[in-house]
Amino acid sequence: MQNTKVEEYYNILKDLIDKDEYQHKIQNLQQSYDNLINQETAALIVVDQYGRNKNSYKKIKNLEPNIDCSIHATIQNIQEPRTFTKKNGQDGQLVELSIQDDTGTIPLILWNEDVKRTTPEGDLQVGTPINVINAYTRTSYNGELQLNLGRWSELQKNDSTPNTTEQQKIDLTGILTEKQPTTPHINTDGSISFTSTISLKTKNSTKPSTIRLEDKQVKTIQDIPLGSILTIQNLTKTPDNIYRLNGDTKDIHLHND
């Protein structure tokens, strides 16, 4: 094992498993997922199988300060948005949501553009089931544990009701400037899904576009080097300004010239 992260994950398990068995489990996982995952991701799944993965979906009662986490929850209450002054003198907004699962309740803080999602016209209302992905916890000034969204976080509406509204499909062409590591998510039914986030610098935008990829889409991107010019088709834009690829890997096109 020469991968530093793989070694780091082994240190979490070394009181439970020897290195040979650990490496064997990693190789078996990679084969079982048709090499969709790299060694590092497979190692993290092994950690999860032994109950020591901090990145799988958690229950609210198990949250601690200063950790990264993903949770399933339902919105129980939405407070009135508050306006504040940023360090640059501009106005900002925040809103506090109370979200709940079957083990407890925690405040979720949304900022600026995300606040619009809680208006009467928005997609986040009391009773809405949600997935909070790659968030982080912190302790507020009054000692209360809170959940916050970072740059690579995602807040999804978890609604099994089919969406009958036709969303506009978008194609983006640009330079691949950033790839986040593959993140495995242990779903409530025990299955494993994979996500990764990339940044694509398009010609007519000063800010790179953020695109969320899932499962086999992730494997395709892993094999494409930074600096490559891509066209990604069949995208839709989520309310939190992240693009999602709705099609298959055939919608990711690499320009070789």
Residue 137 pLDDT: 94
Instruction: Please give the average per-residue pLDDT across 161-165, as a whole number.
Output: 46
pLDDT beyond 80 at 16: yes
Question: How far is 152 from 231, CA to CA, in rounded Å?
Answer: 22
Q: What is the CATH code of the structural domain delimited by 60-157? A: 2.40.50.140
For 208-227, write each residue's pLDDT tens digit: 899 988 888 888 888 899 99
DSSP-derived 3-state class of residue 197: strand
Report the DSSP pairing between strands 183-186 and 243-245. unpaired
**Exposure on the CB side of residue 148, measured as CA atoms within 13 A:** 17
Instruction: Please give the average per-residue pLDDT across 163-175, as a whole number.
Output: 76
Residue 47 pLDDT: 82
- Give the architecture (CATH level 2) of 170-255: Beta Barrel (2.40)
Give 73's strand partners.
130
247 vs 2, residue with greater confidence: 247
Residue 174 pLDDT: 93
Question: How far is 147 from 139, CA to CA, in rounded Å?
Answer: 9
Share of the chain above pLDDT 90, in %: 39
Instruction: Please give the average per-residue pLDDT across 181-190, as a whole number.
Output: 66
Instruction: Please give the average per-residue pLDDT across 115-123, as a whole number.
Output: 89
Task: Label residue 52 by pLDDT band (50, 70, 90).
Answer: confident
Give the residue among 148, 178, 193, 170 at the shortest CA–CA distance from 241: 170
Instruction: Please give the average per-residue pLDDT across 169-181, as a whole number.
Output: 90
Report the DSSP pairing between strands 209-214 and 243-245. parallel
pLDDT beyond 70 at 126: yes
The residues near 86 (Cβ < 8 Å, ≥ 6 apart) are 92
Q: In whole numbers, what is the pLDDT of the chain averaged over residues?
A: 84
pTM: 0.55
Whether residue 177 contacts residue 200, with contact meaning beta carbons closer than 8 Å, is answered with yes
The residues near 139 (Cβ < 8 Å, ≥ 6 apart) are 65, 66, 145, 146
Q: How many residues does the chain have?
A: 257
Residue 24 pLDDT: 94
Task: Label residue 240 by pLDDT band (50, 70, 90).
Answer: low
Whether residue 194 contacts residue 181, with contact meaning beta carbons closer than 8 Å, is answered with no
Whether residue 37 contacts residue 72, with contact meaning beta carbons closer than 8 Å, is answered with no
The residues near 192 (Cβ < 8 Å, ≥ 6 apart) are 33, 45, 184, 185, 186
pLDDT beyond 70 at 188: no
For 133-156, write each residue's pLDDT tens digit: 878 999 998 999 999 998 767 788
**Residue 227 — left, alpha, or beta (φ > 0 → left; ψ -120 to 50 → alpha)?**
left
Contacts by residues 246-251 (CB-CB < 8 Å, ≥ 24 positions apart): 246/169, 248/216, 248/217, 249/216, 249/217, 249/219, 249/220
Residue 34 pLDDT: 72
Task: Label residue 5 by pLDDT band (50, 70, 90).
Answer: confident
Share of the chain above pLDDT 70, in %: 88
pLDDT beyond 50 at 164: no
